[in-house]
Structure formats: structure tokens, C-alpha cells
Amino acid sequence: MKSLVTGVYAEQEGATERRFLPILVRRTLEYCLLQYGATNVDILDPIWVRLHSQPNYLEQRISEAARQCSGYHILMVHADADARTADTAIQERINPGFERARRTGATSPELVEVVPIRSTDAWMLADEIALAVVLGTTMTRNELGLPPHVRDVERDLNPKSTLQQAIKQVEQRSTRRRRIDFESIHSPLAEQIDLNILLQVPAYERYVQQTHAVLIKLGFVRDS
């Protein structure tokens, strides 16, 4: 059985990224491999990358993250686009770092960008059933105040606030006056979110396509 070693570097390293991304990365790899019948791969838990040094420029930080992951198969690089599309962020912020890493490291891992349009919180709004289960409620998408359609989640200008408001709605309806810690929902939601639903979000769909292409390049799956 072959092992797959993956690192995750996030330019904005917050609680959301640390708790949500590594699990989502692992599940996405599992999804991509199973889609193509690659059952003989041991996916090691993604390794969260913290830089030993802090270069001034993003392209240098991405290159340093890749250098630290020398010998890994894949490095997932996360940055929020904070824009209407991910294209500008990828071209101006991510690609220069990828190019620098490839120039400076012969053993650099394959690089994949993880670029939500607004923030990672938007992806947490996609599957209302998973969110309701994690929050311990039967409230509907509309009652939770989520965007009406899955593809709309990245049009939300402040998805973190929307998520926090959904939690407040659940707390207010609770007869036990329970409090829900915002950070406590990230890991269980990453485990339960339906990836087929999340694939309706364009930025995540792009991430899956990039991951699949790299798995083909590395020989873990065959090109169909």
C-alpha cells in the first residue's frame, strides 16, 4: 500500500483554518481517490505547516513552506480571495509563490491552491443538514439565515457573521439556554459536510479539480 503525505499551509492561520482545513483536505483526497477506484493508498493525516522563519513577501512564505515540506507529495496552500472570483488572488498572490518554489526546490512537493472566494467560513454554509446536526437543531436553511442556494454561499460578504448569527438563532430557540462555542463546530462540521453538496460551490469544485490533476500526475490515480 502506498502512503500519501500532504502538508497544509494557510496564509491566514486562524482557528477556522486549523480546525477545518486539514480534515477537509483529508476527506477531499479520500473522495478523489475513491472516485477513481484507488483503494490501495494510505492517506496520512495532513501536516499543518508553520514556518520556521517569516519572510516579508507572500511568494517567499509559500516558497519557504514548500521547502519545509521537501519530500512530501502535496502541499495545499490556502489563502482567501476576498474578491468576487479567485482568479485575481491566484494570479497575483498564489502563482508567484508557486513559481518561486518550483525554481528553488528540486524536491518541492506538488502545489495545490485552496482559495475560497470570501473565506473558509463560506464553505461551512453549504450543507445545511450537516450544520444543523453539528448545532443540534432541526432548523431549516431559511430559519438559520443561510444563503438560499448552495452556489450563493460565496456571494455572502461576511460568511463568518452569517455562521455566528445561525448559532445565535439556535441558542435563542434552545429551551436549555445552552451556549455553542463557535470554534467547537469547525472540526465536526469538516467531518460531516457532504462533499457532493460542497462541490456545487465553484471555488471548492476548482480545488477538487486541481487535487485530482495532481493525483494523476503523481500516479496515485489514472487519467480517465
Cβ–Cβ under 8 Å, residues 223 and 35: no
pLDDT > 70: percent of the chain: 96
Considering only 63-72, 83-92, 110-119, 151-160, which range has the smallest mean pLDDT? 83-92
Residue 13 contacts by C-beta under 8 Å, 6 or more apart in sequence?
50
Query: Rounded to an integer, what distance in angstroms lies between the CA atom of residue 120 and that of residue 79?
Result: 9
Q: Say if CB 46 and CB 6 are below 8 A apart.
A: yes
Indicate the pLDDT class of residue 117, thresholds 50, 70 and 90. confident
Query: Looking at residue 217, what DSSP letter applies?
Result: H
pLDDT digits (tens, 9 = 90+) for 28-59: 999 999 988 788 899 999 999 999 888 888 88
Mean pLDDT confidence for 1-17: 87
pLDDT for res 86: 75
pLDDT at 7: 96
pLDDT in tens, 98-110: 888 888 765 679 9
- The full set of domains in the chain, from first to last, is 2-118+199-218 (3.40.50), 122-191 (no CATH)
| Segment 141-167 mean pLDDT | 93
Answer whether residue 80 shows pLDDT above 90: no
Please tell me the predicted confidence (pLDDT) of residue 29. Answer: 97
Mean per-residue pLDDT, 172-190: 87
Q: How far is the C-alpha of 30 from the C-alpha of 35, rounded, in Å? A: 8
**How far is Cα of residue 65 from the mean position of the Cα atoms in its chain?**
17
Quote the pLDDT of residue 38. 81
Burial, 1: exposed, middle or buried (Cβ in 10 Å; 0-12, 13-18, 19+)? exposed
Rounded Cα–Cα distance for residues 141 and 149 (Å): 9
Count other Cβ atoms within 10 Å, centred on residue 100: 20
**Whole-angstrom Cα distance, residue 212 to residue 218?**
10
Residues in the chain: 224
Q: What is the pLDDT of residue 106?
A: 55
- Residue 80 has φ and ψ, to the nearest 5°, of -75, 140
Q: What is the per-residue pLDDT for 105?
A: 67
Q: For the ranges 64-68, 93-97, 106-110, 130-134, which has the lowest average pLDDT?
A: 106-110
The confidence band for 173, taking pLDDT boundaries of 50, 70 and 90, is confident
The pTM assigned to this predicted structure is 0.91
Cβ atoms < 10 Å from Cβ of 55: 12
More confident residue, 223 or 79: 79
Q: Which of 154, 151, 84 is nearest to 122 (CA)?
A: 154
